[in-house]
Chain A
Amino acid sequence: MSLAETRMTATPQPDRPDQPRTPRHIPDQLRSPLDRRLKSWESLLLLVALAVFVLNSFASPYFLNAWNLSDATFNFTEKAMIAFAMALLIIAGEIDLSVASIIALSSTAMGLVMQAGYPTPVIVATGLGSGLLCGAFNGVLVTRLGLPSIVVTIGTMSLFRGLSYIILGDGAFRGYPADFAWFGQGYAFWVISVEFVIFALLAVVYAVVLHKTNFGRAVYAVGNNPTAALFSGIRVARVKMTLFLLTGLMSGLASVCLTSRLGSTRPSIATGMELEVVTMVVLGGVSILGGSGSIPGVVIAAFLMGLVTFGLGLLNVPGIVMSIFIGLLLIGVIALPRLWSRLRGAR
């Protein structure tokens, strides 16, 4: 570690704009400082989340109520579903800013199918399918045409929501069948909502995929060094395509849950959610430059954001003021470790 750092500081820093000052680490290195820091990062997050939990329970008498806490989970379950796939995508060095617009387009597609009189299974399949199609569109543009994902998904962010506006205008779809409400409003048992069960299952699945499979290892390799990954036999384009498809599918799933919870579709549904999803992923310790991060971190970040939002809500803090906290959290979470390492490096 010290060797790498001295090398970085000894050269006249030609690498600055491309790479952060901290060198990238390969996760399977023995005694990698990243390993230690990641572990401490997650325990730090957990500590903060616990502190927020305790503070909340002192601040409001309504906080420690099973039903209220269950309601609070709705603040983050839908975003977290997307955040899992987004974490993998960002680790692989790409990003998808169109997720909220995919929700809008999927929701609109479900509305159209619902108006045509199809039953709930068809509506759900439509939502998931259109999410997958949107993801495929992004993926093809990025992997086949070699376009930068940030521009592509800024474009499709306008395009997908724009299509939704063309279909709906200032109108709305209402009147979803009663059994469709199960996804967003149903409870699996007692206070545990269906959405929370989906969230928990996905967390396990994504953690296994990222941390225990060849595919997960390939995701890290692609994010750390796409050229080296290519030369070591990883099909870089296929990995990225799969991740865009997954992100699209998860956005479709979130769309099913959100539409079911709200019971209606408007083209402005989930506006700005992409920022909260990216914030959740970055807060969870995933490097925005790719190559590092973990699913447990994202899970804790999801709980933390849900607790902060819910706690401030109980204290009657308006949503827009909460967004200041989210913004500060996003910048602070990245700035503080860098300030810290800079101070240590200066000594």
Chain B
Amino acid sequence: MSALKSREAILFAAILTLLLLIASRFPGFVSPQNLVSVFTDTAPLIILALGQMVVILTRCIDLSVAANLALTGMVCAMVNVALPGLPVALVLVIAVTLGAALGSLNGLLVWKLDIPPIVVTLGTMTIFRGLIFLLSEGQWINAHEMSASFTGFPRSLLLGMPVLGWIAVLAVAVMALVMGRTTLGRAFFAVGGNPHAAVYTGIDVGRTQFLAFVISGALAGLTGYLWIARYAVAYVDIAGGFELDVVAACVIGGISIAGGAGSVIGTLLGALFLGVVKNALPVVDISPFWQLAISGAAILVAVAFNARAGRSRGRLILKSAEQPQ
């Protein structure tokens, strides 16, 4: 536990150092106003990373989150075009439900047919993208076709921060409660930490993995609406490749890809690290083309660091043979 704490402390220190370095030359970057806008800009990544965290904790991976987001977002936009008067609350319900349904498709294939999660989600990722094309016939849905309340909701200010940011705060709080204070949260850790032991303590491993995919899907669906409304445009390739950023945020945040180790705070910090880097690059006048390479390097450093921390705790035996028995 102390290793986990220190890992998050190191990440927190890294983010602070980054902010201080930027602030030493561009003080405007750390003004409260700008920090709020950086946080809001990172909100979709935070929400998606929380869902991905649960999935990775149970030794799975969900590569379909970005495609789920895009498909749900497109459906929400089409619903809005067809029924402009529909209240935002109902749109939110539709988004979360559809996202959860798409996630449960992944979960069922993993649970009932034992198909490796990476294969399932690679497949559903391309299928979801294709479905968006079939639904929209390749057309874009633009700002003028959406109603003002639909696009206004995530951007409306509440105590100085857009609703989008508050939803991320809420998601962090809820997930912290679920992971720390419920049996389901314990089950996620148990399944990832030692599936054999989990079975003998009465936890249904497959069902727990299924629920992880449903949570990841629901959060992706929620982000789908928020994303489409915030940028006021919906098209096939929206958030293309974003699933890698999400996995990156988790890995940087100290979620072990071998399952069972990680925390909500770590995930939040991992996402914030990527968010600060992304928002700082244009400020310090580095081409945004550097972002991809930086996040790639950050993943490698983080995973090497995590493996070291994991090894000192003695989790893996006979590492040279690769597979903990």
Q: Which of A165, A267, A330 contacts B122 (CB 8 A)?
A: A330
Chain B residues 192 to 217 lying within 8 A of chain A, measured CB to CB, are 195-196, 199-200, 205-206, 209
Per-residue 0/1 for B151-194: is the Cβ within 8 Å of any A Cβ (1 yes, 0 no)? 00000000000000000000000000000000000000001000
Q: Is the CB of A146 within 8 A of B307?
A: yes
B251 in contact (CB, < 8 A): yes
B-contact bits for A17-53, CB 8 A (1 contact / 0 none): 1101100000000000000000000000000000000
| B86–chain A nearest beta-carbon distance, Å | 28
- In the complex, whether B325 has a CB less than 8 A from a CB of chain A is yes
A17 to B194, CA, bound (A): 10
Interface residues on B, range: 35 or more
B131 at the interface (CB under 8 A from A): yes
Residues of B119-153 whose CB lies within 8 A of A: 119-120, 122-127, 129-131, 133-134, 138
Asked if B258 is at the interface (CB within 8 A of a chain A CB), the reply is yes
Given contacts A16-B206, A18-B195, A331-B109, contact A160 B296 (CB under 8 A): yes
Contact status of A162 and B292, CB under 8 A, knowing A17-B59, A236-B321: yes
Q: Is the interface of A mostly helix, strand, loop or mixed?
A: helix
> Are the C-beta atoms of B321 and A339 separated by less than 8 Å?
no
Chain A neighbourhood of B206, CB < 8 A: 16
Q: Does A233 contact B (CB under 8 A)?
A: no
Chain B 18-49 residues near chain A, CB threshold 8 A: none
A162 touches B124 (CB 8 A): no
A93, B322: Cβ atoms closer than 8 Å? yes
Nearest CB on A from B116, distance (A): 5
Q: Is the CB of B303 within 8 A of A152?
A: yes
Name the residue of chain A whose CB is nearest to the CB of B307: A147
- Closest residue on chain A to residue B297 by CB atoms: A159
Contacts of B296 in A (CB 8 A): 155-162
Cα–Cα distance between A159 and B304 once the two chains are bound (Å): 15
Which residues of chain A are near B131, meaning CB under 8 Å? 324
Interface range on chain A (Cβ under 8 Å from partner): 35 or more
Given known A150-B61, A320-B129, A320-B130, contact A169–B289 (CB-CB < 8 A): yes
Hey, which chain A residues are within 8 Å of B133, CB to CB? 318, 320-321
A145 and B307 within 8 A (CB): yes
With beta carbons under 8 angstroms apart, the residue of A156, A157, A278, A334 that contacts B115 is A334
Closest to B192 in A: A17
In the complex the two chains form, is A165's CB within 8 Å of B293's CB?
yes
| Cα–Cα distance between A165 and B292 once the two chains are bound (Å) | 8
- Determine the distance from Cα of A229 to Cα of B109 in the docked complex, in whole angstroms: 31
Looking at the assembled complex, report how far the CB atom of A277 sits from the nearest CB atom of chain B, in whole angstroms.
11
Report the bound CA distance from A320 to B114 in whole Å: 28
Report if A57 contacts B (CB, 8 A). no
Q: What separation, in Å, do the CA atoms of A339 and B112 have in the docked complex?
A: 9
B300–A17 touching, CB < 8 Å: no
Asked whether B323 is an interface residue with its Cβ less than 8 Å from the other chain, the reply is: yes
A230 and B293 contact, Cβ closer than 8 Å, known pairs A16-B114, A148-B257, A328-B127: no
Question: Which are the 4 A-B pairs with shortest beta-carbon distances?
Answer: A162-B293, A158-B296, A159-B296, A162-B292
7 additional A-B pairs beyond A161-B296, A327-B124, beta carbons within 8 Å, are: A14-B200, A157-B244, A161-B292, A170-B289, A229-B321, A323-B127, A331-B120
6 contacts between A and B (CB under 8 A): A16-B195, A146-B322, A150-B257, A163-B293, A318-B138, A323-B130
